[in-house]
Amino acid sequence: MKKKVLAAVMAAAMVLALTACGGKTETPATTEPAAPAADDTAAEPEEPAESDAAPEENNDAAEPAESTGELIKVGIINNDPNESGYRTANDKDLKEMFVEANGYEASFAYSNENDKQIAAAQKFIQDGVDYLLLSAADTAGWDTVLKDAQDADIKVILFDRVIDADESLYVASIVSDMEKEGQTAVDWLKGQGLSEYKIIHLQGVMGSAAQKGRTKAVDDAVASDGWTLVTQQTAEWNAEKAQQIVQSVINSGESFNVIYAENDDMAKGAVAALDKANIPHGVGKDVIVMGFDCNKWALEELLKQNWNYDGQCNPFQSSYIDDIIKTIEGGGTVAEKVIIMDEKGFDATEITQDDVDKYGI
């Protein structure tokens, strides 16, 4: 940013010199700006999305943009905002923060595929963003592009998901502890004291940090406590795919008593299959239903005791990222490399309406 500040000073001097000739300064380019409007989320999710919509005007523009005369350019790489209720809330949170009124020029790219995300990152590097914000589809394969960003003096901040890369390649990581989420859920399940555990395990997108963390605790319990995995398949966060998997198990005639779904949408799909087969589920019923993310509608299912457990995954990371950027722009250093957000799990026998209103997304 020092180079940009110097350029701004020189440009200001030229304005004074050229006033009599009608000279003027150029405002910073706002290519691919992010608009808070819902239309942005409708962009093709599997391709790096480029929005042509202009940012919403705000007469009370934030001081950083006015005082420096330029916006901080951020390139934000995320998963498909339609992937789940969690991701929709996460995308909305980012779009509300990284706007011109807060001193930012933001461009967004979406994909659930690692290679497409990496291609988007390379494009953002070529475009000369100041910060690259990343929620990786897969934990592997990021070293080269992050080294390119570092060589270009672009600061990388991870959010939502970790990656398998040297910590020197990014400034900070604002994440959930996915392994802790999984362990909290499995500890709760152990506490139910079932005579046997026969589990349908619905996994998220394979290789993602959420899938790895939430799967590990189940695999460990299967190995140490003799639990049975009736099936363990990826439904890729999708309700319809989850319903098909559970329906297939039901059709096979194999018995089960636990649905462990790695997000709420897959739990919803699993329940649809149970309902179709008239299989009772929830508190005191034949099948325990477990999900993650704490969508409001999912917590309401707990409140009705149709589900048994839901693990929280906090989607609101933008304020953490904003604080980090402001620290760096102010000449400070980021004290913590990894920032873990506090999260909890909810039991259907203990949840309240206040919990639903406070924690539902």
Task: State the Rg of the chain over Cα.
Answer: 23
User: How far lies 13's CA from each of 19, 24, 27, 64, in Å?
Assistant: 10, 11, 15, 20
Q: Measured on CA atoms in the order 111, 113, 119, 121, is the torsion positive or negative?
A: positive
pTM of structure: 0.69
HSE-CB for 187 with a 13 A CA cutoff: 10
Q: How far apart are CA 359 and CA 240, in angstroms?
A: 25
Question: Two tokens at 184?
Answer: 């909290």
Q: Is 242 helix (H, G, I), strand (E, B) or coil?
A: helix
Dig out the tokens for 239 from the structure. Answer: 């309700």
**pLDDT on residue 161:** 86
Distance, CA of 148 to CA of 138 (rounded, Å): 19
pLDDT at residue 2 in the model: 40
Termini Cα distance of the chain: 36
The residue count of the chain comes to: 361
Q: Which H or E run contains 5?
A: helix 2-18
Sequence-separated (6 or more) residues with CB below 8 Å from residue 44 = 110
Distance CA 263, CA 295 (A): 9
Pairwise CA distance, residues 227 & 298, whole Å = 26
Nearest to 322 by CA among 37, 60, 123, 76: 76
Q: Is the dihedral of CA 205, 209, 214, 220 positive or negative?
A: positive
The tokens of 322 are what?
Answer: 């904003």
Q: Which of 227, 209, 113 is nearest to 158 (CA)?
A: 209
Q: How far is CA 30 from the centre of its chain?
A: 25
pLDDT in tens, the chain (361 residues): 444 433 443 333 333 333 333 333 333 333 333 333 333 333 333 333 333 333 333 333 333 333 445 999 999 999 999 988 889 999 999 999 999 999 999 999 999 999 999 999 999 999 999 999 999 999 899 999 999 999 999 999 999 988 999 999 999 999 889 999 999 999 999 999 999 999 999 999 999 889 999 999 999 999 999 999 999 999 999 999 999 999 999 999 999 999 999 999 999 999 999 999 999 999 999 999 999 999 999 999 999 999 999 999 999 999 999 999 999 999 999 999 999 988 999 999 999 999 999 999 9
Residue 355, pLDDT score: 96
Question: Rounded CA gap, 212 and 182, in Å?
Answer: 9
Q: How many CA within 13 A on the CB side of residue 305?
A: 7
For position 52, what pLDDT does the model report? 34
How would DSSP label each residue in 283-351? TTSSBEEEEEE--HHHHHHHHTTSS-EEEE-----HHHHHHHHHHHHTT---S-SEEEPP--EEETTT-
pLDDT at 38: 34
Strands 198-203 and 172-175 turn out to be unpaired
